[in-house]
Amino acid sequence: MSRYNVGVDGSNPSWPTKSFLTMHTQKQQLFLVLEHEVSTRLDIFLSEKLSCSRAQAKKYIDTGWVQINKKQPKKAGDIVKIGDQIVFQEQEKNTTDVLVASSQQEETYNKEIKIIADADDYVVVYKPAGLLTHETQAHEADTLASRVLRLYPTIQSVGDSIERPGIVHRLDKDASGLLVIAKTQKSFLHLKQQFQDRQIEKYYDVLVYGLMDQDHGLIDFDIDRGTDGRMVSRPKTDVLKLKNVTKIQPGKKALTEYWLEQAFVRMSLLKVRIHSGRTHQIRVHMFAMGHPVVGDLLYKNKKIIKKSERKLNRLFLHARELSFIDMHGERVNYHCDLPEELANYLNMLVI
């Protein structure tokens, strides 16, 4: 078994470090509403695409920076429909606040990728928070996939899609941590099968609100997409009882395992393993448990967030360990320590 440790406070001057909004000032961003995004509120849709709060998305809409099918939306709560073309256009007179926010975020973390391991058939990389794993319908120019492609041009034909060369799995934009990228089609299929067979092990560092009732637990709530476009989950009910018919949570099976690593006054640091790969699984499961992830703008409980608490400007969700079977049949394990911004945030908490 091999083990690699890496610090993530260095930088690579060959990669751009400006935030996405700063890089695209004065340029349009086009988003196409897909089937799984229908019935979503416009402000929620934009908050996900732009990685901002719903309040900030509403400001963009109210300011006139957003159009749906070349028309101004009536309100932030308008429901998007499949095929809608949503354009986000920053205006010169209003760029100050965006640039200030981007500058503050740059001070919190840098967005440099790091190569953790370079094998014949795969590469393990560190994805920083603030960087998309691969492009979306907006065709973003700067993603983890595009940066890796510059380093390994031969992977362009690897995978199921040219937009996701070599990409076998992903991390949320505002999460950080380890990903494995296939360098050959044979390796891609080999890794993909392991994900399907649940042979790949992934562990995360996650800081959540509240104190856990137990030091170790399993969350097996099914996960589905809600009417507002977000993923939803809730505790299971006794399906044999007639009174619970309306409480049954539809969706796909999902299993999350956690261990308490450290308890603070208002928060808990967890080690988390996901035994399935549902969209936003950790965030949705923790939210359903009443312990939303710190820094989550989408799955949050305003009642437990204090105005006085320090803002993180990202998710406290870090993929710290990744283990899989290589092409030689050997299990390999890679490890990546907490990035500096998360370690510093922990140091500010009161035990």
Separation between Cα atoms, residue 3 and residue 22, nearest integer Å: 37
Known active-site residue 172: yes
Along the 351 residues of the chain, how does pLDDT read in single tens digits? Answer: 333 344 443 333 333 333 333 333 346 788 888 887 878 889 888 888 887 777 778 888 888 889 999 888 988 889 999 889 999 987 654 333 333 333 334 434 567 899 999 999 999 999 999 999 988 767 788 899 999 999 999 999 999 888 889 999 999 999 999 999 999 999 999 999 999 999 999 999 999 999 999 999 999 999 887 766 677 776 765 444 444 444 555 678 899 999 999 999 999 999 999 998 888 999 999 999 999 999 999 898 888 888 888 888 899 999 999 999 999 999 999 999 999 999 999 998 876
- Going from the N-terminus, what domains does the chain have, and what CATH number goes with each? 28-89 (3.10.290.10), 108-199 (3.30.2350.10), 202-347 (3.30.2350.10)
Q: Which of 63, 41, 67, 43 is nearest to 53 (CA)?
A: 43
Helix (H, G, I), strand (E, B) or coil at 205: strand
Q: Which residues pair with 167 in a beta bridge?
A: 181
Of the residues 172, 174, 205, 296, which is catalytic?
172
pTM for the full predicted model: 0.67
Pairing relationship of beta strands 201-209 and 267-274 according to DSSP bridges: antiparallel
Q: What is the pLDDT of residues 193-220, one digit of tens each?
A: 999 999 999 999 999 999 999 999 999 9
The number of residues making up the chain comes to 351
Q: Where are the beta strands (DSSP E) in 6-84?
A: 28-32, 66-68
